[in-house]
A and B are shown apart, each in its own frame.
Chain A
Amino acid sequence: MPGHSTPSQTVGPFFSIGLDELNRANLAEGSTGERVVVRGRVIDGDGQGVPDAVLEIWQADADGRYHHPEHASTPNEATSFFGFGRIPTDAQGQFSFTTIKPGPVHDPQGKPQAPHLQISVFMRGLLRQLVTRLYFPEEPLNISDPVLRVVPESRRDTLIARQAGSKETTLEWNVSLQGPNETVFFDC
């Protein structure tokens, strides 16, 4: 083994200089599937919104396929859905993005995963990114999802978005860095 991985360092307060070019708050563009709007806030240990955070989203298409060679054994099975988004928070720590609800991802072994978004969170003060997931409300597969199942039941709600108001297509999901509703973050 020639070496260990390079250490992570914070993005700092000025990441927008280098990262804004790839900002993409509409992941659904040009793809088929059930549209959803996700909105929420990134909240620090004082309950304040974090105005200098950026979320990176990675997800499968409506049929549960990732745009990645690891997930297609033949070219016919490949998806054209790009699946990546980058969304900075605003001055109040709020974010919003539009995407499609992914289908269940079928891992080669084991049960299908419940529909979910894979999310990295970067900000000043974080020496390495935080990794979390957003799951969908009222989703029967949530019960058997291999990742949700290892999360203590009392904390699972932090990973499941809520319907916002009467609109079925708008979801609310916050990232709480600390406190009683601290979001579950993963070591993966």
Chain B
Amino acid sequence: MKPLLGYRKPAPGTQPNHLYPPYVSSIKRAPKQPLISVPVTLSEITGPSFPREIASSKAFDLTRQHNGEPLGERIEVRGRVVDEDGRPIRNTLVEIWQANAAGRYLHKNDQHNAPLDPNFAGEGRTFTDEDGRYRFVTIRPGAYPWKNHYNAWRPQHIHFSIFGPAFAARLVTQMYFPGDPLLDFDPIFHSVPDEAARRRLISSFDWLTTEPDLSLGFRFDIVLRGRDATPMER
């Protein structure tokens, strides 16, 4: 019988702990008991794979979902989803959501008094191709204030949700922009202890993705957990 191969544990410091007190909302929501390590079973190394119909052919372009064009700086975000061994993650669903150019979300609980944009909903989805590549066309989201501490502002960011090949590889993260002065002060960004790991959350400006007379290009590669090389001994 072939033994079950699990997914590698993250290197120390490369993932946030659940509790990070400077991010105040974590205090009442992070578990207090330690996580319990479990043996590898089929339940963690399998996961959903979605039919293509879930993402319409327009769903990757957040600037073409309404009658008019949204306000803001048009951008294209491209990247590759791979695992820690560099293998492409093919045909996996990528979901994104973001604020509009003024820093306002189309959500009933967003009380920031920046204007909504009737031509921008801020949601997109797509599948990676055979090489793990994805592409979104959108506008650069605005920074916005939040209540975490006095004069707190979130750096510009786009939320990403990636399924990957298995339940254990599921990742939800945020993509940031290079040179954003608010990154230095953001507790969510700084919840990741390792500096090199934090930098992987920052996209890079990319001439190859920049379209003349059309849009600025940013590259954001995503790495999912790699597979264990040897069977777990329990």
Dominant SS at the B interface?
loop
Q: Does A171 contact B (CB under 8 A)?
A: no
- B64 to chain A minimum Cβ distance, whole angstroms, is 17
Binding site for B on A (CB under 8 A): 1-19, 21-22, 44-46, 50, 52, 56, 58, 60, 66-68, 70-71, 82-84, 105, 107-109, 113, 116, 118, 120, 122-131, 133, 146-147, 150-151, 155, 177-178, 182-188
- A6 to chain B minimum Cβ distance, whole angstroms, is 5
User: Do B159 and A58 touch across chains, with their CB atoms under 8 A apart?
Assistant: no
User: Do A50 and B41 touch across chains, with their CB atoms under 8 A apart?
Assistant: no
Binding site for A on B (CB under 8 A): 1-4, 6-7, 9-11, 14-18, 20, 23, 25-33, 35-50, 54, 82, 84-86, 95-97, 105-107, 109-110, 121-125, 159, 161, 166-168, 170-174, 188-189, 191-192, 197-198, 200-201, 222-226
Question: Which of B26, B28, B95, B197 lies at the interface centre, i.e. has the most chain A CB atoms within 10 A of its CB?
Answer: B28
Instruction: Provide a sorted-by-A list of 8 A–B residue pairs whose CB atoms are within 8 angstroms.
Output: A8-B173, A13-B107, A66-B43, A71-B42, A125-B25, A125-B30, A155-B33, A177-B31
User: Do A11 and B172 touch across chains, with their CB atoms under 8 A apart?
Assistant: yes
Dominant SS at the A interface?
loop
User: Do A123 and B29 touch across chains, with their CB atoms under 8 A apart?
Assistant: yes
How far is B123's CA from A155's CA once the two chains are assembled, in angstroms?
39
A177 contacts which chain B residues (CB < 8 A)? Answer: 28-31
